[in-house]
Amino acid sequence: MRSPISIIILTFNEEKNIEACLNSVCDWVDEIFIVDSFSTDKTLEIAKKYTDKISQHKFENQAKQLNWALETLPLKTEWLLRIDADERVLPELKEELIAKLPKVKETVNGIYFKRRVYHWGKWIKHGGYYPTWLLRIWRHKKAYCEDRLVDEHMKLVDGDVEFLKNDIYEENKKPLTSWTGKHNSYATREAIETLSLKYNLSKSQSVQGNLSGTQVQKRRYVKENLYSTAPLFFRVGIYFIYRYIFKLGFLDGKEGLIFHFLQGFWYRFLVDAKIYEIERKAKESGKDIKTIIQELHNIIL
């Protein structure tokens, strides 16, 4: 039985991940759409075995790419599901979706499920990393991706939400060098996003931080009102200690140590270093922050 769902997957050089992703959805959804950023590996060769609905579009950031897909693709189903190329829909989530989707109330326009992240075969259960709730299923034209350079989430236009019991699975099969390269790019964008908030450089319709709201809203409130106001670099150490010690990240073993250190310390330190670099160059040159960002990273705010 197929569900009235269209899958949207954004890809770039995902030959190590894409087949497992497509295998997890190909036999029960109506349509699969691939939006590729001009891959140079076997990503499209593999994807063509599962779908002929493949588009290519120049990549700026995740939000713009996904919103382009929502505005451009010939989406005909009632429901849309966005998954990343390194994610798989677990069988129990598939069965839950098939059973529950026809019974969802008309007032419900969005559906949340949890994500399990695996690193080198180890489920990262601790450090505040699980459960992470994601709004990844929504009625067509009832949600859009918030306009952010990084850490983007779907935002409902209106309506209620429901929460599923089962999980989506994420494990990136690319080598560590690929992971660090990708997160170097993320760090640049997050540094710019942080400076944009600090200096009020851009106006975006983002999900607003709210301590009494969803998990995303709570985390965003803490990040924008507590973490972002703490001193550069010092806050990185405090965050890592909180995550690895107080949130029990050490229980995730050696693989967890690598993951929590790289994602919770190295990455956050790199973000702060890029913030420091931009502000320092602005001060030394007498130029404004926007100009320095454009000179260093070719990003126009």
- The number of folded domains in the chain is 2
Which one of 138, 170, 202 terminates a domain? 170
Which one of 115, 143, 170 terminates a domain? 170
Q: Which of 289, 276, 295 lies closest to 199, judged by CA?
A: 289
> Is 193 in contact with 149 (CB distance < 8 Å)?
yes
Residue 213 confidence (pLDDT) = 87
CA of 177: how far to CAs of 12, 47, 58, 82, 120, in Å?
A: 16, 24, 23, 26, 14
Same-domain status, 221 and 240: yes
CATH number assigned to the domain comprising residue 162: 3.90.550.10
Tokens of 1: 């039985």
Structural domain range at position 165: 3-170
The one-letter amino acid at 280: R
pTM: 0.93
Tokens 């560590």 sit on residue: 176
Same-domain status, 156 and 214: no
Same-domain status, 193 and 140: no
Same-domain status, 68 and 209: no
Classified as helix, coil or strand, 197 is helix
Same-domain status, 89 and 118: yes
Classified as helix, coil or strand, 93 is helix
User: Would you write out the chain's pLDDT as a tens digit for each of its 301 residues?
Assistant: 689 999 999 999 999 999 999 999 999 999 999 999 999 999 999 999 999 999 999 999 999 999 999 999 999 999 999 999 999 999 999 999 999 999 999 999 999 999 999 999 999 999 999 999 999 999 999 999 999 999 999 999 999 999 999 999 999 999 999 999 999 999 999 999 999 989 988 766 577 888 888 898 899 999 989 999 999 999 999 999 999 999 999 999 999 999 999 999 999 999 999 999 999 999 999 999 999 999 999 988 8
Which one of 153, 170, 187 terminates a domain? 170
